[in-house]
Structure 1
Amino acid sequence: MATKAKPWSLQRLFLAFCLFQAFLDHQEAWAQIAIAEEGPLPLPLLQDVLYREPAERIQLLGKISDAEGSLYRRFFSPAHIRAASQIRRWMKDAGMRTWQDGVGNVHGRIDGRARDAPALISGSHYDTVMDAGKYDGALGIIVAIASVKATILQAALATRIMTPEEVRAAVRESADLGQWLGAKAHNLFATPMEIIAFSDEEGVRFQTTFLGSRAVTGQLVPLGMLDNEDQNGESLADVLYKHGFQGSEEALARTAYSPEQVRGYVEVHMEQGPVLQARGYALGPVAAIAGQTRLAASVIGTQGHAGTVPMKLRQDAAAAAAETVVWIEQHCGGGAGGDEKTADAAEAVTDDSLVCTTGSMVLWPGASNVIAGAANFSVDIRCRSDEVRKATTKQVIAQLETICQRRNVNCSVEIKHEAPAAACHPDIIAGLIDACRESEQLTADILERDEQCQAECDSELSKVSNSTPQDVAGELLDHANCGGTGKSSRWEPGKAPVLVSGAGHDALPMAEITKMGLLFVRDRRGISHSPLEYVADEDIAAAAVALYVYLQKELL
């Protein structure tokens, strides 16, 4: 006689649930071990994702312009809108969910298993100055997308969500990983990862910098930037409404992130200077963004005939201004020999990051046969130490007053702008240095195996006699990789270049809500805001690989 099956009791159901949950936890633990043991993706895939793809995308984005024959993308211009659309497609193809916020910032995000945890953010800006170069801003966006994409693929392969064949096919076909992975993509990282392509950093249209990042940090509305007008009299609020965004204070408040939502911000940016090139490094972490003071100085003398007023009786505004400018240059460590200083400068200048610039001077009446009756000039003072910067500002003002009194002319000085320095977080600096050191060999391997790099090496070999191909190729790769020599000793304390940024970046406003870090990439010509700015493809790859190594530790 058959026995009737007994219904499952609540205790048995609970036991089954616990066993199933334990199985899932076990699988997740093994998945994390697999990621750690799997190591980086195969070199051919890394070449595509971290070398060829970023190099191609930099060129493509550089062609999206409002000007014929030069690069110009102004906030919400036609080219600006097209660039935002292209960046969003790249983010989506990398597996991220994407959206645009209330000021046109483009976001790409992987939620992570702990989706409500604070996010690690990377990014930069996609607007440009007039007649711009291709790398300022765009580099940080494209490198971040490449590094996140590589990290996603590595995690998907290690956890067996994708087979090696599927990963290869996805990379070769530039497939949409979001469609391929679906919701599983958001379970690959432990915590959220977000990329933000900021809509406006340069401030060309509204003459106010960091519009995009100030919206994210909640500073845009308090600073009254919604009322800022462009040359046509259109306010920022008007432009936002015109393009389908809500330009209200309430709408922009929803764009802002709180400090609790962000656990760090890391930006990759071209150096915009010559230090890395001079030292032979492709990459350099940044210690701080310099504080800045802008002065408007005015000297009022007596206008007179150039031929009839004796030299000792003149009250020459131009001469007083010129004497002041030369004093400032020498006081801040400049001069004809580069090391000349004023008598008191040795004590005053205690920080090599101090730089002082007179970038503008206007003389009245500006005629060659008239002694200048007035001279108006600017003074820009920057330093990573706010104490040194403020002390230098006082010394400059005091010296101008002394010169004017001695020359019997009147003068005045107005502080037009003042911004404090922002220090990069020591943990992020250390993490970026480690990533640069640990990525050296992988970068060299990627470049060495790349056919394009080999072709370039072969072309150089034909110019060199009495050298083996291995010698010359090795030398070329040494200078292309992250450290410049392929030896991690170059990244030991005291040897690695840790720079100070004299220019402002989106990392500066982001420092208001989170710890931040900057990784500079070598600018081979030391030029920026110009079509002549240039970051070599090998250096772009070095940055992408270093960020990839950094993200593995932070996200997996």
Structure 2
Amino acid sequence: MRRARRAASSGASLEDAREVMRRCDVLAGISSMEGGIERIYLSPEHAAANAQASEWIEAAGMRAWQDAAGNVRGSYPGATDDAPVLLLGSHLDTVPDAGRYDGILGVMIAIAVVRRLAAHGARLPFAIEVLGFADEEGVRYGRTLLGSCAVAGTWDPAWLDLEDADGVTMRDALTAFGLDPDAVGEAALDPATVVGYLEAHIEQGPLLFDAGRPLGVVSGIMGAKRFDLVMEGEAGHAGGVPMRHRRDALLGAAETALAVEKVALARDVVGTVGELTVAPGAANVIPGRAEFSLDVRAATDADRDKAWEDIRAKALAAAGERRLTFTERLRHEARATSTERRLSEAIEHGVRAATGERDPMELLSKAGHDAMAIASLTSYAMLFVRNGNGGVSHHPDEVVTVEDVALAIDAMEAAVLAVAQRMTDGSPL
């Protein structure tokens, strides 16, 4: 196959890819979880990962530094002191019991690309800044994209009052981490100085795997909303309360969860109930309260919101039929975004140059990424790398191959050079 011949002929790329994967393994060892991977915002593991990434950034010929939000960043100069900046990166935090490539792979690829440019003494019409975002997943405080929001200039000071599961506010955690909570906004970049943002990321789905393609070009990212939902009924003895008299909160939540699936299938969106807690929580007690989450995503914000209204109507109907009280709280909202054509063409050029494919595969990302937040700052484009285990992600079984990573490094380097070419002479890619 053309892809296999290309990968086998690029010994330098394979060597770079092996180093990238070794570094992913090193970061996998920086974890708060015994026998698994977990790194959350403003933790000792966050600090250790930043320190390790800083060493690699410096070794690649950049200046490494940590910003006011806890993101690790690397600066590579352009041809002039006042050159604008092209951003490359992804995130270094993880979900609990994570895989070792989600986010991390993109940061390591970005460092590898700059190391190549520095090795040749390349100075482009823009500087390059590599970003290892501190909190994309939102595990600790329930608010995703914290690091990239800070860089984009959309940080909300109200987030400082959010508390983690132990009651520690973000304000106190930032202080304990050695950062000034009131200075987080200083991490923001000036939009006038930024060329754009390119992000490589493992595909968190099976489409590239099913198509037998190593790389794909992202067309956009679905809009998302995340809710905390509650069904309130009445607890009672499992043997003493007749079935027709029950106000079982769990059954109302279960009906809502099934409605999520039906609405998502009917409207061609994605919906997930990922958390469910019942109280009092005993085998011989009817659940009087059920707390559950809802994550709903769609290609457009309008489609997402219509799906939510359908789900909400069905939840209210279930509550009414069972004499329950239904309440809702919006936890997170992210608008749908589209990649910028100029930058996507650079990614397409990179994929063609790396793989020899005439028509690179285009994909809409159902998963959220830091690019969603950076879209408030500048235009973006993304490269997806095939997940070699049928799309499994947010799981220890995430897999990429060294051959695919080699192609991804080649593609990202070619994309960066294509952006530089267009800035220099305006020629087609």
1:517 partner letter: A
1:524 partner letter: G
Contact 1:298 1:377 in 2 (8 A): yes
Contact 1:88 1:99 in 2 (8 A): yes
**What whole-Å deviation, never above 9, does each CA across 1:530-552 have from its counterpart, x for those lacking one?**
32222222221121111011112
1:433 aligns with 2:368: no
For 1:66 and 1:415, the matched residues in 2 are separated by 29
Q: Which residue of 2 aligns with 1:255?
A: 187
Q: Which runs of 5+ in 1 are unaligned?
A: 1-41, 157-184, 334-344, 442-487
Q: Displacement of 1:355 after TM fit?
A: 0.6
1:282 aligns with 2:197: no
Structure 1 residue corresponding to 2:48, chosen from 82, 93, 96: 82
1:48 aligns with 2:15: yes
1:383 partner letter: A
Instruction: Tell me which moved more, 108-117 or 260-269.
Output: 108-117
2:55 partner letter: R
1:262 partner letter: V
Q: Which residue of 2 aligns with 1:119?
A: 85
Contact 1:383 1:389 in 2 (8 A): yes
**What whole-Å deviation, never above 9, does each CA across 1:438-469 have from its counterpart, x for those lacking one?**
2114xxxxxxxxxxxxxxxxxxxxxxxxxxxx
Q: Displacement of 1:306 after TM fit?
A: 4.9
Q: Which residue of 1 aligns with 2:159?
A: 225
For 2:125 and 2:294, the matched residues in 1 are separated by 48
For 1:409 and 1:233, the matched residues in 2 are separated by 30
Structure 2 residue corresponding to 1:415, chosen from 321, 324, 330: 330
Structure 1 residue corresponding to 2:401, chosen from 520, 536, 547: 536
Contact 1:54 1:541 in 2 (8 A): no
Q: For the structure 1 residues 264 and 320, does the alpha-carbon distance in structure 2 shift closer, same or farther, using more than 3 Å as the test?
A: same
2:350 partner letter: A
Contact 1:296 1:377 in 2 (8 A): yes
Structure 2 residue corresponding to 1:405, chosen from 315, 320, 324: 320
Contact 2:135 2:144 in 1 (8 A): yes
Q: For the structure 1 residues 391 and 60, does the alpha-carbon distance in structure 2 shift closer, same or farther, using more than 3 Å as the test?
A: same
- Residue pairs, 1:17-416, within 5 angstroms: 43-49=10-16, 51-153=17-119, 156=120, 185=121, 188-220=123-155, 222-230=156-164, 234-245=168-179, 247-249=180-182, 251-301=183-233, 303=235, 306=238, 314-333=246-265, 345=266, 349=267, 352=268, 354-416=269-331
Q: For the structure 1 residues 102 and 293, does the alpha-carbon distance in structure 2 shift closer, same or farther, using more than 3 Å as the test?
A: closer
Instruction: Tell me which moved more, 285-294 or 382-391.
Output: 285-294
For 1:147 and 1:63, the matched residues in 2 are separated by 24
Q: Displacement of 1:202 after TM fit?
A: 2.7
Q: Displacement of 1:269 after TM fit?
A: 1.2
For 1:99 and 1:506, the matched residues in 2 are separated by 19
Q: For the structure 1 residues 81 and 408, does the alpha-carbon distance in structure 2 shift closer, same or farther, using more than 3 Å as the test?
A: closer
2:371 partner letter: A
Q: Displacement of 1:234 after TM fit?
A: 5.0
Contact 2:354 2:408 in 1 (8 A): no
1:536 partner letter: T
For 2:396 and 2:358, the matched residues in 1 are separated by 35
**What whole-Å deviation, never above 9, does each CA across 1:455-486 have from its counterpart, x for those lacking one?**
xxxxxxxxxxxxxxxxxxxxxxxxxxxxxxxx
Q: Which residue of 1 aligns with 2:426?
A: none
Q: For the structure 1 residues 313 and 243, does the alpha-carbon distance in structure 2 shift closer, same or farther, using more than 3 Å as the test?
A: closer
Q: Displacement of 1:316 after TM fit?
A: 4.1
Contact 1:148 1:551 in 2 (8 A): no
For 1:243 and 1:281, the matched residues in 2 are separated by 42
For 1:410 and 1:68, the matched residues in 2 are separated by 40
Contact 2:388 2:399 in 1 (8 A): yes
For 2:85 and 2:332, the matched residues in 1 are separated by 32
Q: Displacement of 1:139 after TM fit?
A: 0.4
Q: For the structure 1 residues 114 and 400, does the alpha-carbon distance in structure 2 shift closer, same or farther, using more than 3 Å as the test?
A: same
1:203 partner letter: G
For 2:413 and 2:249, the matched residues in 1 are separated by 56
TM-score (norm 2): 0.85
Q: For the structure 1 residues 431 and 296, does the alpha-carbon distance in structure 2 shift closer, same or farther, using more than 3 Å as the test?
A: same
Q: Displacement of 1:302 after TM fit?
A: 5.1
Q: Displacement of 1:367 after TM fit?
A: 4.5
Q: Displacement of 1:387 after TM fit?
A: 0.6
Q: Which residue of 2 aligns with 1:520?
A: 384
Percent of paired sites with the same residue? 38
- Residue pairs, 1:473-492, within 5 angstroms: 488-491=357-360
Q: Displacement of 1:194 after TM fit?
A: 1.3
TM-score (norm 1): 0.67
For 1:123 and 1:318, the matched residues in 2 are separated by 42
Instruction: Identify the structure with the greater strand proportion.
Output: 2
1:506 partner letter: D
Q: Displacement of 1:266 after TM fit?
A: 0.9
Contact 2:143 2:331 in 1 (8 A): no
For 2:323 and 2:203, the matched residues in 1 are separated by 44
Q: What RMSD, in angstroms, separates the aligned Cα atoms of the two structures?
A: 2.8
**What whole-Å deviation, never above 9, does each CA across 1:37-77 have from its counterpart, x for those lacking one?**
xxxxx94434433x332232222332333455433333344
Q: Which runs of 5+ in 2 are unaligned?
A: 1-8, 422-429
**What whole-Å deviation, never above 9, does each CA across 1:307-339 have from its counterpart, x for those lacking one?**
566655655443333333223212211xxxxxx
For 1:299 and 1:206, the matched residues in 2 are separated by 23
For 2:230 and 2:90, the matched residues in 1 are separated by 37
Contact 1:135 1:270 in 2 (8 A): yes
Q: Displacement of 1:513 after TM fit?
A: 0.7
